[in-house]
Amino acid sequence: MDYKNAGVDIEAGYKSVELMKKHVKETMREEVLGGLGGFSGAFSLAKIKEMEDPVLLSGTDGCGTKVKLAFIMDKHDTIGIDCVAMCVNDVACAGGEPLFFLDYIACGKNYPEKIATIVSGVAEGCKQSGAALVGGETAEHPGLMPEDDYDLAGFAVGVVDRKDLITGEDLKDGDVLIGIASSGVHSNGFSLVRKVFEMTKESLDTYYDELGKTLGEALIAPTRIYVQALKNVKEAGIRVKACSHITGGGFYENIPRMLPEGMHAVVKKDSYEVPAIFKLMQKTGNIEEQMMYNTFNMGLGMIVAVDPADVDKAMEAIKAAGDTAYIVGNIQAGEKGVTLC
């Protein structure tokens, strides 16, 4: 008896690392010390010394049950973008710059080419966010997970000068809410998505005119990364007073998280066009509208609050990052919470 006969292929692990190295290399920043393969990732903090009062930020997340789509579609090159996005968007939401990222892949069996493909997506997400992929772990779990299954999670570390932290404490009556378009369902609510649509290859390969693509293509579209958009706003000299990453829990759970006591957010549902995938989902699943807004991003992946005088300049900065922005509401004095009207 040996480890391979027990279900863990060490040689496959070595091959996975070799195959992913080229992807990891593309994410390197000058602060990274050493290369892939050490027991820890090393990152120099020399540049952080230039800040008056540096604050480290961190975020950790996974892709949820969206990985099921990757299994069925046998498409593994974008799920890593989702994993990175869920973490770095949270860091950016606090005003931070993502510095580095680590991933964790648990699998029933290590197929080196598949693992390398997953990591290629992680590397792409890191490139989009400017974070270095400084390490990770691939754990083979024979007997615990089916051979073709895997789960993916990770965490990001970022930094912000304390004076630039986005806290919501400066919000006032009349501040304007700007919504930044999502790329689709992102990585939240897939337990409900999988109840609405039949999760078979035939179903996911079905073309819908209203989507302009197959159902699978619409659902697996990777989560939008908003790091550059928020960086552009900051570099334009605009103070983002509050920011909400619209993830699990949709509008009703996430928007109040950006508000201090005594401030109320009002979002106008007709201020932008809700993407077709959400309309199709609501109709097919006979889902109440409130539940849709309490589960999904409904086409807005990030919402920021700015002073009315800064709206036009902020919209231009977001557009320059390749994102689409809408004026979706405002802040009013009142009980902490959100109203959709």
pLDDT digits (tens, 9 = 90+) for 279-296: 999 999 999 999 999 999
Tokens coding 267: 């979002």
Query: Which residues pair with residue 244 across a beta bridge?
Result: 303
Single-letter amino acid code for the residue at 215: L
Q: Which of 7, 21, 23 is nearest to 110 (CA)?
A: 7
Q: DSSP character for 164?
A: G
User: Average pLDDT for residues 144-148, to the nearest whole number?
Assistant: 92
Domain layout of the chain by residue ranges = 10-164, 176-340
Residue 211, pLDDT score: 97
Please tell me what DSSP assigns to residue 29. Answer: -
The pTM assigned to this predicted structure is: 0.94
The superfamily in CATH containing domain 10-164 is: PurM-like, N-terminal domain (3.30.1330.10)
CA 25/CA 28 separation, integer angstroms: 6
pLDDT band with cut points at 50, 70 and 90 for residue 3:
low
What is residue 111's DSSP assignment?
A: -
Check: CATH 3.65.10.10 for 176-340? no
Please report which confidence band the pLDDT of residue 37 belongs to, taking 50, 70 and 90 as the band edges.
low
Alpha-carbon distances of 241 from 168, 175, 233, rounded to whole Å: 5, 9, 11
Question: What pLDDT score was predicted for residue 172?
Answer: 96
Residues near 23 by Cβ (< 8 Å), separated by ≥ 6?
Answer: 116, 119, 120, 122, 123, 124, 133
Q: 195-250, pLDDT tens digit by residue? A: 999 999 999 999 999 999 999 999 999 999 999 999 999 999 999 999 999 999 99
Report residue 9: phi and psi, to 5°.
-100, 100
- Residue range 88-123, pLDDT digits in tens: 999 999 999 999 999 999 999 999 999 999 999 999
Find, among 159, 163, 161, 165, the residue nearest to 130 by Cα: 159
Residues 6+ apart with CB under 8 A from 12: 110, 111, 112, 140
